[in-house]
Amino acid sequence: MSDEPGDHPATLAAQALGLVDPTTRSIVPPIYPSAPYERAPDGSYPGGHTYTRDQNPTYDQVEALLSRLEGGQGALLFSSGMAAATTVFETLDTGDHVVAPEQMYWTIQRWLEELAGRGRIVLDLVPNGDQAALEAVLRPGRTKIVWVETPANPTCAITDIAATAEAAHAAGARVVVDSTLCTPVLCRPIEHGADLVMHSATKQLNGHADVLAGALITAQRDELWERVTHDRGYRGAVLGPFEAWLLLRGMRTLFLRVPHSATSAQRIAEWLLTHPAVSEVCYPGLPTHPGHTVAARQMSGGFGMLLSFRLRGGAAAAKTAAAGLRLFKNATSLGGVESLVEHRAPVEGPGSRVPDDLLRLSVGIEAVEDLVADLQQALAGR
């Protein structure tokens, strides 16, 4: 069935691994809506599929591509990034210890805090990239998961995956990296020692803001992966075949979209740095960013489509600037072809660790001159 197209990741993505439908020879894969799959008279499943809550042929190609791009041994699609993330924690036993960063996607952090509040897990939050703080909280034999998000949404804080993995593994813990902001184009966490990679595929993997999806990729087919697979099948947090098909379509242009957006984000970050209304620009591509050296070492081909900046005029100035942007649409989410802005702290609500004068930008694939001009007019006179 495979017409192997070549080894470059961009080729693998563009041709979706070069798979051609064996019956019709169609280049674009079909969508398999079937929930059940027929048994042979002996009770076996000759097609290799049993029931769509466990497997579906439409997922297979996407999972195989994701696994290949991340350098893993397997991948599973989920109904959302949250479903993928929460499945990892569902594998834990009551009282297991989890370490997560202070700055990370807030819904996952809130959910972890809720789990800890109910006594389900023991949670420590550590400052992103603070190796000494990480090592101080690790409990050998008891810490099961060290969660990493790098760059972190929305502050772009950077964590050294290799150093984290070394310390976590020495304590017997697994490292899970939320690599949503990188995609495998910019970073392959497994090469740096991660055990699992997680994506909100809703974002740049799909890239067109029309699918809600998540993914986990494993470095090894081990007991943890068995638990994850079992949990997805039992809880049924699977992606529908139509969404899986759309995700694969989006991923074919991943290697065009990601570098384009990253180049534009870099240019916008450099421009914002010179603006008098801006007090700080959070983008790991800037040499002034505290995580720049680590990011330059573990990322390649750019520093991502997400950047944030803070306004000297405080929360009120941030609100007004967000409202004044026209091309950047004021909406939540990130990683689509169209650029978005969000005044993040009010969205996260009380307890948010995000400064209230911070605006988050998700940079799409529009002409960067237009995006800079839009920022220029929105910040004029501030």
User: In the complex, what is the shortest distance from the CB of residue 215 to ligand PLP, in angstroms, rounded to a whole number?
Assistant: 10
Pick from 52, 56, 150, 202 the residue near ligand PLP by CB under 6 A. 202
Q: Please report whether residue 57 would count as binding ligand PLP according to CB under 6 A.
A: no
Of the residues 37, 59, 105, 283, only one is catalytic, namely 105
Contact (CB, 8 A) for 326 and 340:
no
Tell whether residue 89 is a contact of ligand PLP (CB under 6 A). no
Q: Quick check: 155 binds ligand PLP (CB under 6 A)?
A: no
148 forms part of the interface with ligand PLP (CB under 6 A): no
- Residue 240: count of CB within 10 angstroms of its CB: 19
Q: Which is nearer to ligand PLP, 138 or 244 (CB)?
A: 244
Of 27-35, 76-84, 121-129, 240-248, the window that binds ligand PLP (rule: CB under 6 A) is: 76-84
- How many residues touch ligand PLP under the rule CB under 6 A: the total is 13
Q: Find the shortest distance in angstroms from Cβ 82 to ligand PLP.
A: 4
- Is 105 a binding residue for ligand PLP by CB under 6 A? The answer is yes
Among 32, 53, 68, 124, which one carries the catalytic annotation? Answer: 53
With respect to ligand PLP, which residue has the nearer C-beta, 49 or 203?
203
Does 178 help bind ligand PLP (rule: CB under 6 A)?
Answer: yes
- The yes-or-no answer on residue 203 being catalytic is yes
d(CA 172, CA 141): 6
- The verdict on whether 195 is a catalytic residue reads no
- Residue closer to ligand PLP (CB basis): 159 or 200: 200
Tell me the window of 27-35, 79-87, 136-144, 237-245 that interacts with ligand PLP (CB under 6 A): 79-87
Amino acid occupying residue 301: G
Task: Say whether 357 is catalytic.
Answer: no
Query: Is residue 105 annotated as a catalytic residue, yes or no?
Result: yes
Cβ 332 to ligand PLP, closest distance in Å? 7
Q: Per the residue annotation, which of 178, 195, 357, 374 is the catalytic one?
A: 178
Measured from the CB atom, the residue of 12 and 205 that comes closer to ligand PLP is 205
Bridge partners, 149 (sequence order): 178
**Which listed residue (120, 144, 174, 203) is catalytic?**
203
Smallest separation (angstroms) from ligand PLP to the CB of 42: 41
Among 151, 214, 241, 284, binds ligand PLP (CB under 6 A): 214
Which contacts of 321-326 are long-range, i.e. CB under 8 A and separated by 24 or more positions? 321/277, 321/359, 321/378, 321/379, 321/382, 322/359, 322/378, 324/377, 324/378, 324/379, 325/374, 325/375, 325/378, 326/374, 326/377, 326/378
Does residue 59 bind ligand PLP (CB under 6 A)?
no
Q: Candidates 55, 58, 109, 153: give the one binding ligand PLP (CB under 6 A).
A: 153
Which parts of this chain interact with ligand PLP (CB under 6 A)?
Answer: 80-82, 105, 108, 149, 153, 178, 180, 200, 202, 212, 214
